[in-house]
Amino acid sequence: MAMDSGRGMMMMAFMAVLVVLISSLNATSGHVQEAAAAASSAAAKEGEEADRILSLPGQPRVPFRQFSGYVAVHEAAGRALFYWLTEAYSDPTSKPLVVWLNGGPGCSSVAYGASEEIGPFRINKTASGLYLNKFSWNTAANLLFLETPAGVGFSYSNRSSDLLDTGDRCTAEDSLEFLVRWMERFPRYKGREVYLTGESYAGHYVPQLARQIMAHNLKPKHSIINLRGIMVGNAVTDNYYDNMGTVTYWWSHAMISDRTYEQLMSTCDFRRQKESNECESVYSYAMDQEFGNIDQYNIYAPPCNSSEGSAASRRQSIRLPHRPRHGKILRQISGYDPCTEKYAETYYNRPDVQRALHANTTKIPYKWTACSEVLNRNWNDTEVSILPIYREMIAGGLRVWVFSGDVDSVVPVTATRYSLAQLKLATKIPWYPWYVKKQVGGWTEVYEGLTFATVRGAGHEVPLFKPRAALQLFKSFLRGKPLPKS
């Protein structure tokens, strides 16, 4: 019995030592995990702080933080995308992350979205400094401007062939890779509500990126991007209906003759990517002989009388994939100040501005431009229709809003209405006028799964021409509420 008792006491002592050891190991493991998490957080913080913008040259003082820089998306090719984050004016941690993309394809979200549409700053006429945009969308959300794909703005690739063979698929894949890696650098945005917005050819970029995110979120062990919705304006959507709707708009707004309209409708096959020479000659006749010296992006605004080499004239030469190629330079873009691209190109090529933005760190062998003609002319991959992705987004429960400035003749309201009609969605709230400051801001209809709105008197870049109405539209979109009836 004494022997058994001794063995029992030894066993109890051994178990006690074992418990102490296990507790010690657990504590050590916990400390290691905590230390690893802290180190990861510190590394992210360090990466984030390296991108912090202290102040831009000529910038007024602001209460919000800004960050900008590069995120590598393909190491082997040396591809990196440039971003600019302007956080919300107040309580940024409680507000969603809104990604803005401009189209072209080949045009910069820094030049357009950030500098003349929804961003907090405008560039003055001498490009010596900035002034505040009181209708900036960062009064309601954190704004992330992304220059995509590589070759747009400050974004670059060390593999020059990337600029000579690019398109929709590569843009969507790189943009997803950017978001995943960007959130590693900014972990406080993980789990945050995310919305994708943009205009024009971003009518491709935004839904295609949404589709990439939805597929990404289904894969095991992937960090979830909390995508909640998309909103696009004057969006390239479907080649056939966009083309037909554009020609119809020209005729209904007296830009072309009955004869030219009938020739376009009978001669052109709107489903083709490359039109016949006969069709192209009718397009050229309409633009050269019948349009007159107007701004196609806002048919009632004065054009910028700038030199042929300006950003404005280059942008008008940019080819939209749903339209035939034209060798001739078209008319210049305009806005309240029709020469804003010139100011952007002067400002963003200043070495002190690039240093403040942490941009052009690899000394790109060309100037920063608002739009890349090289990239646009070598756009070799474009989806014929984005409507199937709309069906996927609606089925996936995303909030989907589409808006149209109604004096744009490039991607006009008729084109968008023809395209969306193909979805055959049931109407929830019938067509009605919506208001901003007791004035009709436009008209809207709410369908099952999608909201469509027009913006009265706005051109292709809706926030440029109607900033107050655009901000109202944006706030209603974020709330998921119909536009106000009074």
Tens digit of each residue's pLDDT (9 = 90 or more) over 384-433 = 999 999 999 999 999 999 999 999 999 999 999 999 999 999 999 999 99
Residue 8 has pLDDT above 70, yes or no: no
For residues 313 and 333, what is the distance between their CA atoms, to the nearest angstrom? Answer: 7
**Where do the structural domains in the chain lie, given as residue ranges?**
66-238+383-479, 239-339
Q: Which two tokens stand for residue 433?
A: 């006028």
Q: Across all residues in the chain, what is the average pLDDT?
A: 87
Helix axis angle, 258-267 to 277-285, nearest 10°: 160
66-238+383-479 matches 239-339 in fold: yes
Catalytic, 476? Answer no
Catalytic, 23? Answer no
pLDDT of residue 341: 80
* Maximum Cα interatomic distance, the chain, rounded to a whole number of Å: 117
For residues 167 and 182, what is the distance between their CA atoms, to the nearest angstrom? Answer: 22
pLDDT of residue 189: 96
Q: Does the domain made of 239-339 have the CATH classification 3.40.50.1820?
A: yes
Q: Which two tokens stand for residue 449?
A: 């799964």
For residues 14 and 205, what is the distance between their CA atoms, to the nearest angstrom? Answer: 65
Cα angle: 131, vertex 52, 177; to 5 degrees:
105
Catalytic, 460? Answer yes
For residues 169 and 286, what is the distance between their CA atoms, to the nearest angstrom? Answer: 33
Average pLDDT of the segment spanning 466-478: 98
Going from the C-alpha of 194 to that of each of 170, 173, 475, the distances in angstroms are: 21, 17, 14
Least confident range of 137-151, 174-188, 210-224, 311-325? 311-325
Are 455 and 406 a contacting pair, CB within 8 Å?
Answer: yes
**Residue 47 pLDDT grade (very low, low, confident, very high; cuts 50, 70, 90):** confident
Q: Which two tokens stand for residue 166?
A: 């690019």
Average pLDDT of the segment spanning 321-341: 44
Average pLDDT of the segment spanning 339-349: 87
pLDDT of residue 322: 55
Q: What is the pLDDT of residues 210-235, one digit of tens each?
A: 999 999 999 988 789 999 999 999 99
Are 435 and 258 a contacting pair, CB within 8 Å?
Answer: no
Average pLDDT of the segment spanning 459-471: 96
**Residue 44 pLDDT grade (very low, low, confident, very high; cuts 50, 70, 90):** low
In the set 68, 200, 310, 409, the catalytic residue is 200
Cα angle: 277, vertex 282, 285; to 5 degrees:
120
pTM: 0.87
**Residue 281 pLDDT grade (very low, low, confident, very high; cuts 50, 70, 90):** very high
In the set 162, 313, 408, 476, the catalytic residue is 408
pLDDT of residue 222: 78
In the set 74, 404, 460, 476, the catalytic residue is 460
Give me the CATH topology for the region 66-238+383-479.
Rossmann fold (3.40.50)
Residue 337 has pLDDT above 90, yes or no: no
